[in-house]
Amino acid sequence: MALHPALAAVRAGVRRSLVDLDPGATVLVACSGGADSLALLAAAVFEGHKAALRIVGVTVDHGLQEGSSERAVAVSDQMRALGVDESAVATVSVDAPGMGPEAAAREARYGVLGELAERFGAEVVLLGHTLDDQAETVLLGLARGSGARSLAGMRPGFDRFRRPLLGVSRSDTETACMVEGIEWWTDPHNADPRFTRSRVRTTVLPVLEQELGPGVAEALARTADLLREDAEALDHLAAHQLQRGHLTAYRAAGTLRFRRTDAD
């Protein structure tokens, strides 16, 4: 029986993200209990165990909702049922002066995931961001008047963190969960209109799809890929020119800029 296309897409993304790891390596998978991260976790267990990798599932309790600690324990139990070699619950305090609640939670989450990766000896931490998350990020950047660097969206990988599902839609992660009989939790914060990203997710993108036709999210994610490739090429070119002494650095209006030495 052929594998469902949605499940195949999720597993393929995870397989590509693990291909450079040696047998016996440890992989940390961040899991909130939502469809995206559960689809990621199940695929990591399937693909990781085929490659003789150790899979550790981690859920982070931000303490922002009533019953969050019980929810975290339930997610940990679910991760074990899905076959992880070990699971852990991390509790963080979301309190970063000068940051909004979303940014503060993200900062705390990445911090504790890095600490847990060190503790478990994980070479890689997998995150469940999808194509839809990428599209939302690009739209938010456009609304803020950001430059090309911000419009390039989320990177597929940085440090030890990797995002295997940036080319996979949210509908595919949900379908993958349904195919595998995995029940997921829907975080009410994701639909809370107090949060900007939630409004983009529940209102702005659906309106764009309705008025402009399907494929808007895919187009925005593709734009991010193209801009990221351009930015990386420019960085490489600038580094090459600077190394050869063809550029001089100077500050103007508080910004570090570069000028060709033969343009004086």
For residues 133-146, average pLDDT: 89
Q: Which carries the bigger pLDDT value, residue 21 or residue 253?
A: 21
pLDDT at 264: 46
pLDDT over 70 at 258, yes or no: no
- Structure confidence by residue, pLDDT tens digits, 34-49: 999 999 999 999 999 9
pLDDT at 143: 86
Each as own residue / partner, the long-range contacts of residues 116-120 (CB below 8 Å, 24 or more positions apart, any chain) are 116/28, 116/56, 116/58, 116/88, 116/90, 117/28, 117/160, 120/26, 120/28, 120/56, 120/86, 120/88
pTM of structure: 0.85
- Structure confidence by residue, pLDDT tens digits, 55-83: 999 999 876 677 788 999 999 999 999 99
Residue of 199, 28, 222 whose CA lies nearest to 122: 28
For residues 230-243, average pLDDT: 70
Mind listing the domains of the chain with CATH numbers? 5-231 (3.40.50.620)
